[in-house]
Amino acid sequence: MKIDLHVHSKHSTRPSQWVLQKIGCPESFTEPMKIVRLAREQGMDMVTIADHNTINGALEIAHLPDAFVSVEVTTYFPEDGCKVHVLALDIDEKRFAEIQKIRENIFDLTAYLRRENVTHVCAHPLFGVNDRLTPDHVERLLLLFNNLEINGARDNAPNVALRLIAAALRPEDIERMAERQGIEPYGPAPWQKSLTGGSDDHGALNIARIHTEVPGAQTLADFLRGVDQGLSQARGEAARPETMAHNLYAIAYQFYKNKFSLQRYVNKDIFLRFVDRFLGADEARTSSVIDRLQTYWTTRRYLSTRPGDSGRVQDVCRREAARLIHDDPELSRIARLGGPLPENKGGLWYRFCTGATNKVLTRFADKLLSNVSGGNLFDIFHTVGSAGALYSMLAPYFLAYTLFHQDRRFSREVLATVLGRPAAREPKVAHFTDTFYEINGVAKTLQRSVALAARTGKDLTLVTCTPAPGEARPGVRNFAPIGVYDLPEYPQQKIFYPPVLDMLQFAFEEDFTHVHSATPGPIGLAALLVSRLFKLPIHGTYHTQIPQYAHQLTGDTGMEDMAWRYTIWYYNQMDLVYAPSRATADELAERGLPPEKLVVYPRGVDTELFHPAKRNGYLKRHGLEKGLTLLYVGRISKEKNLHLLAETYLALRRDMPNLNLVVVGDGPYRTQMQALLAGSGAVFTGILEGEDLAACYASSDIFVFPSATDTFGNVVLEAQASGLPVIVTDVGGPRENMQPGVTGLVVSAGSSEELTRAVERLAMDPQTRAAMAAEARRIMEPRSFEKAFDQTWSLYAKVG
């Protein structure tokens, strides 16, 4: 015999989820007779309704031969108010009245149910109904109840934990718990637990998803006896966060449909028809010819509205949703035709929600960034408010993922307490970054990190977002962006909008222990959302001096100030902030970051790849047969002060005709710089990697890095490891990665004269140049990338 022992009807009126509480919505809108119909369709042999603290729904079907009365009782531990739900099965009105009198105290309730021989089950025993449940309470529940529920509305982790506990309990375990808790266990063999199954359905979408089967039972009495004797089996499939979110949407929709009489519009609007098919109480309706004509015209109106047309957030969402339904053949078929919904209705609803909101979010993000570029402060706040309203529409998903993740964490704690399983886990890190496949210092470091993590058994996943990731790499999860914004001041730099819900879903599935953000941009905001919803520690790396870039690119000090305010706000959300240099850490502290959050993290260099022994005449490939070579490696952009390098080279070349300049890299300033140096013999190699890059370093003589905006400057390490003296500015991180007068020279940022004198000094003094080159290599040798990576990884265990 099969029965779903935990189903709610419209008589469950007090929701526990804040999403429903906020709109004043009851917990369920399901008619009792619909429960009977759906349970029978799912193959259930009998039907019961277990509403919260009422039997009104069960009484409506009690006249049926295959129905019986049950209730979900809310009770409490008297010492601390921890709330527990208990299913009391096959009761009458008299017993229900008694239950209502004594249900406030869990000890009084269980004593009564035992005395009256009422079969009862502790519902979802690993879910804290009012956030007060602890592993200590679970031990008490194991002593008070021998029937435990496998729940169909929650994550599978508590169900798995419950099965493990039921299989592993021994008499000595119960004896130990009883002594610690001061509670007498119930029954002759309290270590033997019976597991039942209940869907805990509230929206008529998942009835019998999980149910109870008692093999061989022919009557209800046989069935209940089987439950009490440990013969019951929980059957079916656990829920996913998407399942719970779908239910919440359904309950809210049914509430609004009743409140505003939306029924009369359902067949006249493609959007409402689709929503009603997925979330309404009935799965199919007939429509008249007039209804179909109205649907046609409203669809045409949606499709003819221009994307840029103004409107409220909800109107924009409705238009984009209608377009999505019209353009997707499967969704359009569901909206137009009747019949049963597909099995994966929760997954389809998720696809619809993400598709519609991604389109709208892209519009708002474009508008926001355009307003930022134009300095339109009022419009910025208006757009942020609109985007916030959009995300409130996704609240059921945020809530579901949060609750399911809490279930997992609590299940581990319970297993540690009850079975002695270790709750602590090795770090499993999701590192969110907006640069990985590009050619730059940050990307190269991350590429090496993920490869090294794989070799050393560390659980690191790089999460990024780009439309053209190239070949798949182990340890990297790329998401296709939902939109892209081209910076007008920086044509080669693009901002990608990540699919936030998909990233959240991925993070939930992977069950990370830590989040790391390498960017305060859109991908970094997705990382922050993951850490907040899942209550995970989040570390952040300050790679790029965004405020300074904003000023250099726009020339607007107001933009720089706004960028600083946002940057400090973002990194204030971190548990730990990795600064690439002491100068950067000090600047962040001066701007308002708490010093205790800041750490200057170790950085290493591949001392095997970058080595003086790689000097092999590589530059002959580019026509440089002789002379002394100045080298620059990095992004070719104006904020790197490369015009100073060009001026220095041209000034010195008049007296030093054998002086060469090699520029390695690419960027928006390349064309202009090449024009500036036309006819001077300067060589632009484009991007170099691997052995070619190593040979280029080692085959050069002096490394010049005039940038004042770099927070670290990986290339300065690579140059020194290759045996080159370096020239850097007195501003930024590169200054801390060399020893002035020992491995190179430091000049004032922005000073063409000082840069020229420094280059001339090293060019004219081969002995000093050689001594600095030797010291540079010696000092870099202990700074292996592997050592720096291990030191950084240890920070995850120390903080969070």
Output the six-digit token pair for 280: 């309404």
In CATH, which superfamily holds the domain spanning 2-239? Metal-dependent hydrolases (3.20.20.140)
Rounded distance, CA 78 to CA 73, Å? 15
What tens digit of pLDDT does each residue of 485-520 get?
A: 776 655 567 888 899 999 999 999 999 999 999 999
Contact call for residues 331 and 341 (beta carbons, < 8 A): no
Contact call for residues 695 and 619 (beta carbons, < 8 A): no
- Side-by-side strand order, sheet with 67-76: 47-49, 67-76, 83-89, 120-122, 147-151, 194-198
* C-alpha of 493 from chain center: 24
- Which helix (H) or strand (E) segment is 122 a member of? strand 120-122
Residue 87 backbone dihedrals phi, psi, to 5 degrees:
-90, 120
Can you state the percent helix, strand and coil of the chain, rounding each to 5?
Answer: 50, 15, 35
Output the six-digit token pair for 121: 């089950």
CATH 3.40.50.2000 in the chain is located at 425-600, 612-783
Q: What angle do CA 444, 776, 645 make, to 5 degrees?
A: 70
543: Cα within 13 Å, side-chain hemisphere: 22
Contact call for residues 644 and 706 (beta carbons, < 8 A): yes
The CATH class for the domain spanning 612-783 reads: alpha beta
Is residue 63 helix, strand or coil? coil
Residue 367 predicted with pLDDT over 70: no
Rounded distance, CA 12 to CA 16, Å? 11
Q: For the structural domain made of 425-600, what CATH number should be given?
A: 3.40.50.2000
**What is the pTM (predicted TM-score) of this model?**
0.84
681: left (phi over 0), alpha (psi -120 to 50) or beta: left
Contact call for residues 72 and 52 (beta carbons, < 8 A): yes
Rounded distance, CA 599 to CA 120, Å? 55
Contact call for residues 149 and 198 (beta carbons, < 8 A): yes
Rounded distance, CA 473 to CA 450, Å? 9
Is residue 21 helix, strand or coil? helix
CATH 3.20.20.140 in the chain is located at 2-239
What tens digit of pLDDT does each residue of 545-590 get?
A: 777 766 666 667 777 888 899 999 999 999 999 998 888 899 999 9
Output the six-digit token pair for 144: 């008070």
What pLDDT score does 449 carry?
94
Average the pLDDT over 453-458 and give the result. 95
**Is the dihedral angle over the CA atoms 169, 172, 175, 176 positive or is it negative?**
negative
Q: What percent of the chain has pLDDT over 90?
A: 66
Residue 15 predicted with pLDDT over 80: no
Distances (CA, A) of 30 to 38, 280, 338, 422, 465: 11, 10, 20, 42, 42
Residue 219 predicted with pLDDT over 80: yes
Average the pLDDT over 709-730 and give the result. 93
Rounded distance, CA 5 to CA 7, Å? 7
Confidence of residue 606 (pLDDT cuts 50, 70, 90): very high
In sequence order, the β-bridge partners of residue 494 are 486
Of 88, 113, 123, 91, the residue nearest 195 (C-alpha): 123
Contacts of residues 418-421 at CB distance under 8 Å and 24 or more positions apart, as own/partner, are 418/135, 418/138, 418/139, 418/142, 418/165, 418/173, 418/177, 419/164, 419/165, 419/168
What tens digit of pLDDT does each residue of 44-100 get?
A: 999 999 999 999 999 999 999 999 999 999 999 999 999 999 999 999 999 999 999
Residue 799 predicted with pLDDT over 70: yes
* C-alpha of 386 from chain center: 22
Rounded distance, CA 337 to CA 284, Å? 8
- R_g of the chain computed on alpha carbons: 33
Rounded distance, CA 165 to CA 191, Å? 10
Rounded distance, CA 32 to CA 8, Å? 8
